[in-house]
Amino acid sequence: MTIFPTVTVAGAINQALRSAMEAHPKMLLMGEDIGRLGGVFRVTDQLQRDFGEDRVLDTPLAESGIVGTAIGLALRGYRPVVEIQFDGFVFPAFDQIVTQLAKLHARSMGKIRLPIVIRIPYGGGIGAVEHHSESPEAYFAHTAGLKVVTPANAADAYWMLRQAIDCDDPVVFLEPKRRYHEKTRLDTGVAPGPLHRARVVRPGGDVTLACYGPMVQTCLDVAEAAAAEHRSVEVVDLRSLSPLDLDTLVESMNRTGRMVIAHEAPVYFGPGAEIAARVTERCFYRVEAPVLRVGGYHTPYPPSRLENDYLPGFNRVLDAVDRVLAY
């Protein structure tokens, strides 16, 4: 029996970047402090040493300029991978992403391809200061022309990033920063599945718990606790927000008849609302209870000393499971 090595999420992303740079001679990395320092989270550690300053570029502190330059490079045949140092720093580049990057393929009637990956460490749970714990996924999933994906473990981090880099469309790759140091066994020889396919990570029969990114482990913990009380919770890791694998969610809902959606982003106009509406449309005659959502509150992200009250943790998710099963 083959025993695969155990790696962290950050280490798996580093391996994916290294492997992709070996496979794509015109691929390059761009971002603030990603070269000599190896990135704030050391995700790009040693890559500038091994591939040189021409392929691993330390950029100025100018996110709009970074993404704009990447667009220009992609037009010239390069395959840039951009790192936005923290989630809240992506907004200076928002115009470039939603106005140019997302639209050039359609604007050119399909003649232009922009194979750009924008890596964004996102979410809370690390005790950071303002602008360092945002969950901006809804903005990008709402924007036609962008693909939006997020891994929950090291194996998916490796393979989903490789698939995103190989893709000829722009991909926003959201990395759950509070999971960077969690470990999973990694098989770099076999991809676990398509980039935009959701996965049932724990089967169940009473209620579906849909989640993604940093919330997947929380939801698995909830399912384990619920099992001790003879309640069967099925956990679905969405993996991709745009496009959304609705078929997997519908199949799960048809099995359980109940659903809770959990994400760190605010519930108000958040990803859970879109998922709830679409699943209800497809499963109307199978729905046994209202689809419930658990997420951040409709307020700016609070100071770090209050983030545990803001984030949808174990107790809030378990409470939603209890409530949906009470109908």
Name residue, tokens 């935009």.
Answer: 196
Same fold, 6-185 and 199-325: yes
Chain centroid to CA 32 = 20
pLDDT digits (tens, 9 = 90+) for 128-168: 999 999 999 999 999 999 999 999 999 999 999 999 999 99
Looking at the structure, give the CATH architecture of the domain made up of residues 199-325: 3-Layer(aba) Sandwich (3.40)
The CA-to-CA distance between both ends of the chain, in Å, stands at: 46
pLDDT > 70 fraction of the chain, expressed in percent and rounded: 99
Q: What is the dihedral of CA 25, 30, 35, 40, to 10 degrees?
A: -140
pLDDT for position 5: 87
Question: Is 132 among the catalytic positions?
Answer: yes
Give me the residue spans of the domains in the chain.
6-185, 199-325
pLDDT digits (tens, 9 = 90+) for 60-97: 999 999 999 999 999 999 999 999 999 999 999 999 99
Using a 10 angstrom Cβ sphere, with 0-12 exposed, 13-18 middle and 19 or more buried, the burial of residue 155 is buried
- Tell me which H or E stretch contains 310: helix 307-310
Residue 190 pLDDT exceeds 90: no
- Residue 148 CA neighbour count, 13 Å, CB half: 24
pLDDT for position 1: 54
Check 132, 142, 181, 298 and give the catalytic one: 132
**CATH C-level class of 6-185:** alpha beta
pLDDT digits (tens, 9 = 90+) for 265-317: 999 999 999 999 999 999 999 999 999 999 999 999 999 999 999 999 999 99
Name residue, tokens 């993604």.
Answer: 212
- Residue 129 CA neighbour count, 13 Å, CB half: 1
pLDDT for position 219: 98
